[in-house]
Amino acid sequence: MTNNPADVVSSFIASIERRDAAAAVAHLSSECEYDNVPIGKVYGKAAVLDILEPLLGSCSRVEWPVLRSATEGNLVFNERLDRFEMPHGWVELEVAGVFEVTDGEIRSELQQRKNNEN
């Protein structure tokens, strides 16, 4: 694996799009913090896997196109459209993600969904 923060995040997203939760979690540090708003924070690879496996398993396809991305030191910021094809159709979420990458591993991730309510 690479230590370049942007490459680590891109590889994590590619694993998600393949619906490979185990490969996605392999990009995380053992003491990672995963804050998927509004679901809430979880800590550690096992807890993240517990969230990702059923989510990705319920989808026939997953697409996370990155619309904008910026890297500052070990932080990667991206604006994405997270798309999940479910049995009833596509679910699309506008997301702002912030990843902290240290020594080639994601130590923390915050995902904030855009509120589309008026």
Say whether pTM exceeds 0.85. yes
22 in any annotated domain: yes
In this predicted structure, what is the pLDDT of residue 48?
94
Out of 22-26, 59-63, 67-71, 112-116, pick the least confident: 112-116
Question: What is the pLDDT averaged over residues 59-68?
Answer: 97
Q: Is a pLDDT exceeding 80 seen at residue 108?
A: yes
**Within a domain: residue 71?**
yes
Quote the domain boundaries for residue 105. 5-113
In a domain, 118, yes or no: no
Confidence at 109, pLDDT banded by 50, 70, 90: confident
Q: Does residue 98 lie within any of the structural domains?
A: yes
Residue 56 lies in a domain: yes
Q: Please tell me the least confidently modeled range out of 57-61, 78-82, 111-115.
A: 111-115
Cβ pair 25, 52 in contact under 8 A: yes
44 is a domain residue = yes
**Closest to 5 (Cα-Cα) out of 78, 67, 79, 95:** 78
Burial class (CB in 10 A: 0-12, 13-18, 19+), 6: middle
pLDDT digits (tens, 9 = 90+) for 80-97: 999 999 999 999 999 999
- C-beta of residue 86 within 8 angstroms of C-beta of residue 62: no
Tell me the per-residue pLDDT of 31-58, one tens digit each, with 9 for 90 and over: 999 988 777 889 999 999 999 999 999 9
Position 45 in a domain: yes
- Please give the tally of structural domains in the chain: 1
**For position 20, which CATH number holds?**
3.10.450.50
pLDDT for residue 29 is more than 80: yes
